[in-house]
Amino acid sequence: MKNNKIKTEIYKALFITLTLTFATNLWAQTAEEFPSLNEFYAQHTEEQGEELLLSATGSEVKDLSRTNLVKLYQDSIIGNYYVEKIYDYYNNANKLSAKREYFAYSLDKQIDLNIVPPTLYFKDPASDNNFIVRQLYISKAHSVEGKKAAKNYNLSGTPLPIFDQLIGATDRKFNNFLIAQDGTVIAIDHESLFLDGYISNTEKFINEDDIKAFFYNKSIWEKFMSTNWDEWTEINLSHEEKSIKEAFIANINKLKVKTAEIMNHSSYEDFFSSADNIRKNAIELKKQIFFSEDDKENIIPKTIKPRAPLPPPLLEKKCKILPPLPPHVDNKCELPPPLPPRLKKL
């Protein structure tokens, strides 16, 4: 009788082990198959992406900065890649830089632009003065700088020129955006926003094709127009000075007016038909420059170092979610708002 119980327990343990191994391998395979943010969002919501980041524990794959401050990790359970950036400046800019990274993602999320990967930030468990930004990484995307194709490419035909004018990102160099396999752009590195000249510069939203590339489908325009930007700005730019918040809203209104003028010159349908053509042409150009038939993988180096999970107290903090986007509520651990429970199927 005793032997039968032992056998039963052994079989149970073996079954659980095999099940977990299968699930882990399945997730790891799936996570590595996403060639772009569009593919990721075709199967996940933004909230699910945030949940993946919040619960991620993995191994270090590569130091991306050569300064030990920006590292690539692979989650040990699901297999997806993510980047952690540590802000440890000897001043008060750490928190502000981390919040600006999260703000860029919040704006992208609000209108479903799909160019900024899911992003979270929190206080560094090792230091009260430091902050960490964690962001999803698309492993099959290329750096323009890494491909040495900068002389053959610019950002025309992508949403980035208008996006950067809205947020004051004037330092968009070739090492802070990526090209995905489907030819779309992925915007990264948003700690330096609202730089000098953001308030005074009036030379914005001039290029008609750039505006069309930003509103590349009707749903983006509809969400842009339906958002209460005064309320949204108070929630999501609470960390910025009043003059910056006012300038941001002024830019939103200016973009509305300029876009409406373009639509009035032709028609609503013609605007989006032209926008679609501009986007498709830009995508095809980027695919030709950055991806060949034999160039379908961005090879990730072998993992080299385990990454410890965040301590439980840091993950247990709860914050209230307010519409239209979760505000960042200051608390001891400086976490973004809580995310919905992980779904059984992503």
pLDDT of residue 190: 94
The pLDDT score that the predictor gives to residue 90 is 64
What are the residue ranges spanned by the domains of the chain? 32-316
**Contact (Cβ atoms closer than 8 angstroms) between residue 81 and residue 73:** yes
Cα distances (angstroms) measured from residue 175 to each of 47, 114, 219, 259:
27, 19, 30, 30
pLDDT band at 307 (very low <50, low <70, confident <90, very high): very low
Q: Which of 15-19, 27-31, 71-75, 151-155 has the lowest mean pLDDT?
A: 27-31
Peptide bond into 306 cis (omega under 30): no
**Rounded to whole angstroms, what are the CA distances from 92 to 6, 131, 238?**
59, 11, 16
For 7-27, the pLDDT digits (tens) are 556 555 554 444 444 444 444
Per-residue pLDDT band at 291 (split at 50, 70, 90): confident
Q: In whole angstroms, how far apart are CA 310 and each of 97, 225, 313?
A: 21, 39, 8
**Could you tell me where the DSSP H helices lie in the chain?**
2-31, 37-43, 46-54, 93-111, 144-147, 160-167, 208-214, 218-226, 229-236, 242-265, 268-290, 312-316
338 pLDDT exceeds 90?
Answer: no
| pLDDT band, very low/low/confident/very high, at 257 (cuts 50, 70, 90) | very high
Tell me which range, 50-64, 226-240, 283-297, is most confidently predicted by mean pLDDT. Answer: 226-240
Is the per-residue pLDDT at 277 higher than 90? yes
Secondary structure class of 308 (helix, strand, coil): coil
Give 193-243 as a DSSP string.
-S-TTTTT----S--HHHHHHHT-SHHHHHHHHHS-HHHHHHHHTTTS-HH
pLDDT score for 281: 94
Six-digit token string for 323 = 């519409």
Task: Name the strand (E) or helix (H) holding 306.
Answer: strand 305-306
Instruction: Kindly state the DSSP code that residue 87 receives in the 8-state scheme.
Output: E
Q: What is the pLDDT of residue 301?
A: 45
Q: Is the pLDDT of residue 79 over 90?
A: no
**Torsion sign across C-alpha atoms 281, 172, 164, 104:** positive
Residue 170: pLDDT band by 50, 70, 90 thresholds? Answer: confident
Residues 123-148 have pLDDT tens digits of: 988 888 889 999 999 888 887 766 65
Q: What is the pTM of this model?
A: 0.76
User: How many C-beta atoms surround the C-beta of residue 18 within 10 A?
Assistant: 10
More confident residue, 29 or 2: 2
Give the pLDDT confidence score for residue 18 in this predicted structure. Answer: 46
pLDDT confidence of 200, banded at 50, 70, 90?
confident
Q: What is the pLDDT of residues 95-108, one digit of tens each?
A: 899 999 999 999 99
Where is average pLDDT lowest: 102-106, 150-154, 331-335?
331-335
